[in-house]
């Protein structure tokens, strides 16, 4: 190795424009990653639809789905997307207390959604291995539930960091934005799942 000279360090003062400065590309990175995630759910949807086309009756007998609870759950999750946006609006005005309030409410709604999901699993009367529909049902909703859980963890992370005064400001809140984008993504996926699994089952 050559003895490379020390790269000069930047002054720590704010606002120094130099080519060492590193812009924040995390939002763009997250969006790129979500494209990949969409394909993952897309593959699951495709598997589900192929099976749906193959079976004479879908869902097969004895594995019917219930509609009321998931409908309430859908309502909760979709509204939570608006709630989290109020948090984003708040931080853009520099209102950290508002951010904390709305994000905490979102996390709570996410937790209620998951609890509803668990309750549904417990009361449906069939399990993962009952038949191919049950396989799809549990794997798809479970996989989505895992994403909701990750979303809640991200939101809790934002809440944890927002304790520090000045960590999020009206100008600097990329982490807040990323948690929100991810939450919207999880929400959109759920609406598609709801249509595929529940609505199409009733239309049948």
CB nearer to another protein: give 11 or 165. 11
CB nearer to another protein: give 16 or 195. 16
Query: What Cα–Cα distance (Å) separates residue 78 from each residue in 12, 75, 85, 139, 181?
Result: 43, 5, 12, 22, 14
Q: Which residues in this chain contact another protein in the complex, by CB under 8 A?
A: 1-29, 32-33, 35-37, 39-40, 42-44, 47, 50-51, 54-55, 88, 91-92, 128-129, 131-132, 135-136, 139, 171-174, 176-177, 180-181
Least Cβ distance, residue 178 to another protein (angstroms)? 9
Least Cβ distance, residue 188 to another protein (angstroms)? 14
DSSP 36-101: HHHHHHHHHHHHHHHHHHHSSSSSPTT-PPP-HHHHHHHHHHHHHHHHHHHHHHHHHTT-HHHHHH
Least Cβ distance, residue 197 to another protein (angstroms)? 16
């Amino acid at each position: 190795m050559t003895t490379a000279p020390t790269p000069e360090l930047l002054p720590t003062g704010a606002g120094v424009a130099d080519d060492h400065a590193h812009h924040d590309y995390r939002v763009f990175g997250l969006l790129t990653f979500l494209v990949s995630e969409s394909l993952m759910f897309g593959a699951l949807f495709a598997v589900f639809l192929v099976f749906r086309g193959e079976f004479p009756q879908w869902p097969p007998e004895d594995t019917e789905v219930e509609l009321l609870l998931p409908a309430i759950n859908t309502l909760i999750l979709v509204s939570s997307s608006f709630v989290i946006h109020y948090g984003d609006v708040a931080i853009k005005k520099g209102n950290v207390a508002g951010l904390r309030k709305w994000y905490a409410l979102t996390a709570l709604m996410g937790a209620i959604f998951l609890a509803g999901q668990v309750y549904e699993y417990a009361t449906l009367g069939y399990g993962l291995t009952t038949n191919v529909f049950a396989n799809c049902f549990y794997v798809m909703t479970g996989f989505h539930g895992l994403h909701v859980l990750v979303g809640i963890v991200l939101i809790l992370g934002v809440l944890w960091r927002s304790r520090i005064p000045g960590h999020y400001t009206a100008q600097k809140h990329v982490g807040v934005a990323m948690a929100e984008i991810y939450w919207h993504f999880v929400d959109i996926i759920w609406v598609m799942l709801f249509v595929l699994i529940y609505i199409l089952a009733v239309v049948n």
